[in-house]
Structure 1
């Protein structure tokens, strides 16, 4: 007898919501963190994800949920990686929250497209501080713009009074969309805050920089708890927003190209732009990771290679320059032809110095012949791809400084869909065994290129990709 049983991929049901907005700056991170905090306080296991490339919002979301936060982008990660991360999380959590990026429908890989592809409903946060009935028009437009998107409802943020909230609610054509009003949040009743999470250039101030970060999140959760959204029972959450995540095809394991190698990773307030997925990728390749803090005066750990991530070196110039011991260690590391991969702020720290916004010069480590200059406006922003001799790395760029360098330029990144030789992306500089760029790499997109940049001799896929004969030329 022929067996006609149909084999179905296993599924993992889990409550899941996208938290989106009509535009940036509406309060998505505050609401997402408040929701995570609220569920966590009620004893549920919550994991939060962030759409698109971001290093700062995830720090707040991690504090709120108590778990690592992964980026989700259908281009940077790839569709299979997105589905695999969500399926894995759904098996061990009660709630999955995904914070959107920019406006709900903005970008080629928008938050709306992600939600539609996964069958996840969207809560839309609207800054209603300066509107009344127009709130209803925005909600109506969001509800009907794309019939394929499941709209869970709208949450009015930065609402002044109960009367203001009632005006907003009454303007809705569909009363079922009303999820409540978030009043201005405060740690001090006498001093309400329109923006509970402060900002600076590049985005939110990092959570670890504020001594009362946890109190801020609790304050937001307390306000959310009094909204219709916050007052829904757990059974209602399960009935409305449970999604069955399907197991993706099994991915081939990453070879242990870094087995037996120790990779030093700078990690502190000056070098905090680190994707958890990048660390996991290094470990999956067999690397031992050795973290150290340059601004705390720590020396370079014994290592085979060094990764200097991005961050805020411009805010810690004195501490970086004062670490003379580390500067000597780095010089010795390079004299031994050991490799360095430096991204954005990590590259700036290696430079001769930086000119700040007040035109003052600050000396830095001086290991890369380059000078950085801070800008008032963004100097680079967007998704980027980098063609290397070992394959294509995907990632992005986001910086306020500019670099003038005499180091050899071996390549340039390009925007998705652009030819690698377009010359419009970020330069990749080589100085001895240093490779440095404003380009932030998503390591899982091409682990073999990462292994090569960290000193492993890897098979060359495209010998013409870079303008150099070899990695350590």
Structure 2
């Protein structure tokens, strides 16, 4: 009997009972610790996210991709895991929200690929009860619980009580309460380039992670099947140059999206609206991803060269794809968090203002003539516009109407963040003039 090729590698899915337990901090500390022990480490993020992967990439020294059974799909997840297994000694996967939250959840991913779970527990306000919590996490699914990392532990005595409460589940590591934590803002953690002395902070976290090397040595390997080589992808964007905004205002980019554009044949050319750079000469299409334009509204408002080049590209009919923050910068005005309204590029009639609460969150898909294009939404701002939506995304799994998609000439704009590999043909169509005719 012929069996599929496989790779055996140590894998841990780092999960918790809820958000706020310290999954990202613990995963970053563990990644940095293992790297300093001479391990080759690859990290993934479960579910849609832009900011956590930036931090985890800094901690591990390797690119961080997304794993999600719905948005990415089981086969692409398997392919990414197999590629990482071929390059690494250890794979860490940071879960999303609580272990069983979402459809699909982190637990679903663990069961799909037979991954052991490492539970992060915020032990700051408990001791023995941590054992009940972790046993419940294990048995509810159930999942294979490899062990526990107790976060925000007060002392060695506190750690001993937590360890005793785990019974048959090993306590792999503890991390003390932090005097300095990773700073956050409305969309999550502050991006790594804005954190002063980030590498020193990561090294400090690694040093403070009290690590049971014997427990680590006992961790079983996970067998990752190597999928068949994918079929050769058509290249409808061959010969096309796509100008991509990339700076502190526009940095929410899935690495897989850039890979997909290259696979489709495109040449990518980056530019900075914040630096008032015009669109690169010879660009055939423009991609404005999300980010934090509201934090740089004044600078974008004064970027006359960039704005003029965007208006010229729009008038010339170049396809322009603007996601979330990219769309915000193309409205008539953008009000920052203080309420000051700043003039923007004006390709999409309307005004954007920040909201005190989340205005959109969760996985969504948008229908195209090539089938659904999957992705997600996550924003605190609101667009008021007289433009009628050309279509709407659909929320997963409810099927309820999601984000509006606007078409103004050659501009396609929405709060929806697309995951391009979920539908290569639909992605190519976005960046071709035929899609805007």
- Measured against aligned partners, the alpha-carbon deviations of 1:288-324 in whole angstroms (never above 9, x if no partner) come to 0001111123221121000000010000111111211
Cα deviations by residue, 1:334-391 (Å, 9 ceiling, x for unpaired): 1111010000000000011122343322221212112111100000001100001232
Q: Which has the larger radius of gyration?
A: 1
Residue in structure 1 matched with residue 291 of structure 2 by the alignment = 311
Match of 2:259 among 280, 284, 289: 280
In structure 2, do the counterparts of structure 1 residues 203 and 283 end up closer, same or farther at CA, with 3 Å as the change threshold?
same
Shift of 1:8: 1.4
Counterpart residue number, 2:122: 127
Determine if the alignment matches structure 1 residue 260 to structure 2 residue 260.
Answer: no
The answer to whether the Cα contact below 8 Å between 1:412 and 1:428 also exists between their aligned partners in 2 is yes
Where does 1:53-132 land on structure 2 (aligned, <5 Å)? 53-132=48-127
Can you list the C-alpha shifts for 1:388-408, whole angstroms capped at 9, x where unaligned? 123210000000001111234
Mapped pair 1:21 → 2:16: yes
Q: How does 1:162-181 map to 2 (within 5 A)?
A: 162-174=156-168, 176-181=169-174
Cα distance between partner residues in 2 of 1:259 and 1:241: 45
Q: Unmatched 5+ residue regions in structure 2?
A: none
Tell me, yes or no, if the aligned pair for 1:408 and 1:431 is still in contact at 8 Å.
no
Superposed structure 1 runs of 4+ greater than 6 Å apart: none
Residue of structure 1 equivalent to 2:196: 211
In the alignment, the residues of structure 2 paired with residue 43 and residue 173 of structure 1 have an alpha-carbon distance, to the nearest angstrom, of: 31
Query: Which of 344, 353, 374 is 1:394 aligned to?
Result: 374
Give the match's secondary structure for 2:425: helix
TM-score between both structures, scaled by the size of structure 1: 0.89
372, 389, 394: which one aligns with 1:414: 394
What is the SS of the residue equivalent to 2:396?
Answer: coil
1:38 aligns with one of 6, 17, 33: 33
- Alignment of 1:9 onto 2:14: no
Counterparts of 2:318 and 2:294 in 1: how far apart (Å)?
26
Q: Which residue matches 2:430? A: 453
State the secondary structure of the residue aligned to 2:205: helix
**Shift, 1:43, TM fit:** 2.3
What's the offset of the Cα at 1:249?
Answer: 3.4
CA deviations over 1:169-205 (Å, ceiling 9, x no partner): 233333x4222321123xxxxxx23xx2111111111
Q: Could you tell me how far apart the structure 2 residues matched to 1:8 and 1:57 are?
A: 37
| Partner residue, 1:466 | none
Distance between the aligned counterparts of 2:302 and 2:253, measured in 1?
24
Task: Name the CA distance, whole Å, in 2 between partners of 1:365 and 1:447.
Answer: 29
Q: Within 1, Cα distance between the matches of 2:188 and 2:26? A: 16
Aligned counterpart, 1:347: 327
What residue in structure 2 maps to residue 220 of structure 1?
205
Alpha-carbon separation, structure 1, partners of 2:134 and 2:381? 38
Query: Of 261, 269, 272, which residue of structure 1 is paired with 2:248?
Result: 269
Change (3 A) 1:318 1:356: closer
2:402 equivalent in structure 1: 425
Count of residue pairs brought into register by the alignment: 436
5+ residue gaps, structure 1, are 1-5, 186-191, 458-470
Aligned to 1:188: none
Question: How much does 1:22 deviate?
Answer: 0.7
Q: Is the 8 A contact 1:357 1:376 kept in 2?
A: no
For 2:78 and 2:356, the matched residues in 1 are separated by 38
Deviation, 1:279, is: 0.3
Matched, 1:405 2:385: yes
User: What is the CA distance between 1:456 and its match in structure 2?
Assistant: 4.9
In structure 2, which of residues 168, 175, 179 is the aligned counterpart of residue 182 of structure 1?
Answer: 175
TM-score when normalising by structure 2: 0.96
Residue 248 of structure 1 and its aligned partner are, at CA, apart by 1.8
Shift of 1:418: 5.3
Whole-angstrom CA distance in 2 between matches of 1:390 and 1:342: 20
SS of structure 2 residue aligned to 1:219: helix
CA distance in 1: counterparts of 2:433 and 2:237, whole angstroms: 7
Partner of 2:224: 245
2:123–2:150 contact (8 Å) kept in structure 1: yes
